[in-house]
Structure 1
């Protein structure tokens, strides 16, 4: 998923998604300069699963 897709899902701004990913609050993967999100990790995060960890 892109930051824009995650932002739409969470009803926040894409800049908020990038900030949460940068600080480790939101699980994300970095590929070079591109940040992507796995749907299942975001869904776990939404459900409050604190064990959903950032995976590269």
Structure 2
């Protein structure tokens, strides 16, 4: 599951607390002009939650 908003991160945090799994936040910046120079402009971070259901016999 991927989340970008605070509201969706609340859902992800609840499920992660209940079910475990891996919780990762990815942040990317792009280079862009700042006057005659180049600077980094952050993009919105994405929170990713991954969980694997264990097999039952």
Q: Same fold (TM over 0.5)?
A: no
Q: Which has the higher strand share?
A: 2
Flag the structure with larger Rg.
2
Higher normalized contact order (CA 8 Å, seq sep 6+, divided by chain length): 2
Bigger proportion of residues as helix: 1
* TM-score using structure 2 length: 0.31
